């Protein structure tokens, strides 16, 4: 007998028939003698609708009320799945974040899970009752409802598995595992049987939304065995998240990710002197603007140069506002912003041992006539910023160039 957490995403619970299908998958695990906690997302499209309504009423709404609204989608699916389970004689009850409780930070809209109280749930699981937990939500120190950021039900599931000391956490979604690239964009993408936590962390944070980044962090820290599986073909496929040491053949590139949520700001003719970077990035940090890639040119005359950095599209207006206010301290001549850009990244733990990996990327993009605007690297990834129009072309070309195409 094992204790397991099963998580079902939006498409898996998109309508009543699919909720019934999920109930059957849960029943199978219960019939096999397992204790089961299930985490559900809102029905697909539901969260988008709730976000849009909130923004429509007021773009500058209170984040606490945003959370009250957008957490509602998960309440519905948790209740419906509990009803569906009871209807097929599997004892079950729904749990909202505050009822467990799942305590989070007060950062409404993207709260972090701080602590999950396991006793109540464990007691019920031991009695043979399935716990159907609303994903994506928790409770702040002041008792207000919080949400965990888009895609946050993955994190709810992994955190719950850690708190319950579950034997495994199965993430059921609309693809049968983690692929070398988003299979919606690259038809030749291949499913990976295993992926190292470190690689999955990079893939997720660089745009592969199959798992929320924080869920991977959580799995890595708490050593939770996580599998990604298909709800619609549960007996086939799957990808296991594992330690680097469990991967025998370390390819230079394991996966490719991309994100369109990028914007670029260039400051022209800033003084080339100590303290200038601090005068730009200090105020941005204070305003909570996330800065990702940065390049600064060498000045020709040693006096003035240009500096480019990227942030997310949703933060672009705020970033421009901050920079304009700090203009007297920075002393730039002009500001150019551009959100017609996207970031493409190659990721692989084998990169550490294989020189020349980045060069293949640059050459491949050059052959397609794609200009690289900014580059950033880490030990196991290379990212480039390019014109958004070329994302799909770039991703497919790189997928072939690194030998990732399915036969
Ligand atoms: P859920 O609603 O189940 O949480 P998501 O839509 O959040 O599902 O995530 C699954 C989607 O992630 C897939 O449909 C796929 O298009 C996308 N995806 C992006 N990159 C990858 C990848 N490398 N492997 C698998 N799926 C990916
Ligand atoms: N329903 C939430 C969202 O759409 C959480 C999730 O699906 O994981 O972002
Ligand atoms: Mg998701």
pLDDT by residue (tens digit) across 93-139?
999 999 999 999 999 999 999 999 999 999 999 999 999 999 999 99
Asked if 289 and 368 sit in the same domain, the reply is: no
148 and 48 together in one domain: yes
Q: Give the closest residue (by CA) to ligand 2 atom 6.
A: 151
CA distance 137 to 392: 34
- CA atoms of 392 and 372, how far apart (whole Å): 15
Taking residues 31-58, what's their average pLDDT?
97
Does the residue 191 lie in any domain? no
Q: What's the gap between Cα 10 and its chain centre? A: 15
Cβ atoms < 10 Å from Cβ of 91: 13
Query: Over the chain, what is the mean pLDDT?
Result: 96
Give percent helix, percent strand, percent coil of the chain, each to the nearest 5: 40, 25, 35
Distance from Cα 348 to the centre of ligand 2, integer Å: 27
Q: Is residue 205 part of a domain?
A: no
- Whether 301 has a pLDDT exceeding 90, the answer reads no
Are the CB atoms for 147 and 47 separated by under 8 Å? no
Whether 270 and 360 map to the same domain: the answer is: no
304, exposed or middle or buried, with CB in 10 Å at 0-12, 13-18, 19+? middle
User: 238: Cβ below 6 Å to ligand 2?
Assistant: no
Structural domain boundaries, residue 158: 3-174
Angle at 169 between CA 163 and CA 171, to 5 degrees: 130
Q: What is the mean pLDDT of residues 287-303?
A: 89
Residue 240 included in any domain = no
- Supply the pLDDT for residue 1: 87
The number of residues in the chain equals 407
Residue 145 lies in a domain: yes
Task: Report how far ligand 1's centroid is from the alpha carbon of 182 (Å).
Answer: 7
Has residue 255 been placed in a domain? no
Distance 187 CA to ligand 2 centre (A): 25
Atom 9, ligand 2: residue with shortest CA distance = 150
Shortest-distance atom of ligand 2 to CA 148:
5
CATH number at residue 390: 3.30.2130.10
Question: Cβ(47) to ligand 2 under 6 A?
Answer: yes
Q: 289 and 150 in one domain?
A: no
Residues 178, 13: contact at Cβ < 8 Å? no
* End residue of a domain, out of 124, 155, 174: 174
- Do both 22 and 110 map to the same domain? yes
- For the stretch 224-246, pLDDT in tens is 999 999 999 999 989 999 999 99
Q: Given pLDDT bands bounded at 50, 70 and 90, which one contains residue 298?
A: confident
CATH number of the domain that residue 321 is part of: 3.30.70.260
> How far is the centre of ligand 1, averaged over its atoms, from the C-alpha of 327 (Å)?
41
Atom of ligand 1 nearest to the CA of 255: 23
**What confidence score (pLDDT) does residue 374 get?**
95
Q: What is the pLDDT of residue 164?
A: 98
CATH classification of the domain holding 100? 3.40.1160.10
**Closest C-alpha among 382, 375, 391, 203 to residue 294:** 375
Q: Quick check: 148 pLDDT over 90?
A: yes
Averaged over 365-387, what is the pLDDT? 96
Residues 167 and 18 in one domain: yes
Q: How far apart are CA 270 and CA 307, in angstroms?
A: 7
- Least confident range from 32-36, 298-302, 399-403: namely 298-302
Q: In terms of domains, do 148 and 288 share one?
A: no
Mean pLDDT in residue range 255-278: 95
Is there a single domain that holds both residue 395 and residue 284? no
What residues flank ligand 1, with Cβ below 6 Å? 9-12, 41, 151, 173-175, 178-179, 181-184, 203, 208-210, 255
Which of 179, 184, 204, 209 best tests ligand 1's pocket when mutated (most atoms within 8 Å of CB)? 209
Given a contact cutoff of 8 angstroms between Cβ atoms, the answer to whether 386 and 340 are in contact is no
| Per-residue confidence (pLDDT) for residue 59, from 0 to 100 | 84
pLDDT, tens only, 188-238: 999 999 999 999 999 999 999 999 999 999 999 999 999 999 999 999 989
Is 179 within a domain? Answer: no
What pLDDT score does 251 carry? Answer: 87
| Cα gap 183→191, rounded to integer Å | 9
Shared-domain flag, residues 168 and 284: no
Which of 310, 338, 366 terminates a domain? The answer is 338
Beta strands in 247-347 (DSSP E): 255-271, 294-296, 304-311, 334-347
Could you tell me what percent of the chain has a pLDDT over 90?
93
Q: How far is the CA of 280 from the centre of ligand 2 (A)?
A: 34
Q: What is the DSSP letter of 12?
A: G
Domain C-terminal end among 129, 156, 174 = 174
Count of structural domains, the chain? 3
Helix (H/G/I), strand (E/B), else coil: 5: strand
| Percentage of the residues of the chain whose pLDDT score is greater than 70 | 100
Cα of first residue to Cα of last residue in the chain, in angstroms, is 39
CA of 172 from ligand 2 middle (Å) equals: 13
**Looking at the predicted structure, is the pLDDT value of residue 249 above 90?**
no
* Cα–Cα dist 48/378, whole Å: 33
Ligand nearest to the CA of 203: 1
Whole-number pLDDT of residue 315: 92
Same domain, 55 and 85: yes
Cβ neighbours for 185, distance < 8 A, ≥ 6 positions apart: 258, 391, 392, 395, 396
Q: Mean pLDDT across the stretch 279-294?
A: 95
235 lies in a domain?
A: no
What confidence score (pLDDT) does residue 52 get?
A: 97
In a domain, 9, yes or no: yes
Ligand 1 pocket: which of 18, 148, 175, 260 to mutate (most atoms within 8 A of CB): 175
Instruction: Tell whether 170 and 276 lie within a shared domain.
Output: no
Whether residue 322 is found in the same domain as residue 347: no
Give the strands of the sheet with 102-104, arranged side by side: 113-116, 102-104, 137-139, 145-147
Q: What is the pLDDT of residue 237?
A: 87
Q: Per-residue pLDDT for 5 more than 90?
A: yes
């Amino acid at each position: 007998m094992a204790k397991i957490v099963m998580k079902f995403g939006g498409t898996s619970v998109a309508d009543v028939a699919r909720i019934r299908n999920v109930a059957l998958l849960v029943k199978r695990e219960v019939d096999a003698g397992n204790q089961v906690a299930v985490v559900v997302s809102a029905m697909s499209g539901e969260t988008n609708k709730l976000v849009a309504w909130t923004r429509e009423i007021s773009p500058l709404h209170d984040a606490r009320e945003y959370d009250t609204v957008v957490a509602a989608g998960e309440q519905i699916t948790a209740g419906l799945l509990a009803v569906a389970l009871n209807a097929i004689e599997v004892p079950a009850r729904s749990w909202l974040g505050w009822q467990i409780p799942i305590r989070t930070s007060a950062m409404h809209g993207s709260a972090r899970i701080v602590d999950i109280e396991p006793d109540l749930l464990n007691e019920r699981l031991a009695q043979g009752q399935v716990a159907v937990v609303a994903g994506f939500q928790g409770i702040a120190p002041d008792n207000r409802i919080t949400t965990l950021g888009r895609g946050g039900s993955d994190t709810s599931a992994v955190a719950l598995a850690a708190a319950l000391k579950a034997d495994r956490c199965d993430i059921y979604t609309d693809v049968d595992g983690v692929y070398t690239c988003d299979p919606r964009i690259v038809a030749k993408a291949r499913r990976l049987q295993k992926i190292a936590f470190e690689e999955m962390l990079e893939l997720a944070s660089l745009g592969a939304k199959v798992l929320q980044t924080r869920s991977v962090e959580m799995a890595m820290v708490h050593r939770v065995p996580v599998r990604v599986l298909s709800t619609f073909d549960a007996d086939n496929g799957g990808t296991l998240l594992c330690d680097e040491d469990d991967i025998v053949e370390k390819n230079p590139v394991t996966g490719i990710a991309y994100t369109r949520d990028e914007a670029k700001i260039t400051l022209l003719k800033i003084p080339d002197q100590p303290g200038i970077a601090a005068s730009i990035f200090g105020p941005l940090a204070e305003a909570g603007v996330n800065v990702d890639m940065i390049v600064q040119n060498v000045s020709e005359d040693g006096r003035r140069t240009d500096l480019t950095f990227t942030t997310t599209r949703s933060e672009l207006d705020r970033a421009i506002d901050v920079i304009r206010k700090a203009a007297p301290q920075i002393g730039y001549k002009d500001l150019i912003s551009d959100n017609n850009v996207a970031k493409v990244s190659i990721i692989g733990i084998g990169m550490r041992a294989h020189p020349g990996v980045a060069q293949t990327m640059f050459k491949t993009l050059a052959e397609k006539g794609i200009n690289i605007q900014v580059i950033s690297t880490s030990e196991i990834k290379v990212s480039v910023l390019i014109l958004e129009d070329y994302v799909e072309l770039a991703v497919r070309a790189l997928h072939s160039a690194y030998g990732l195409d399915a036969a």
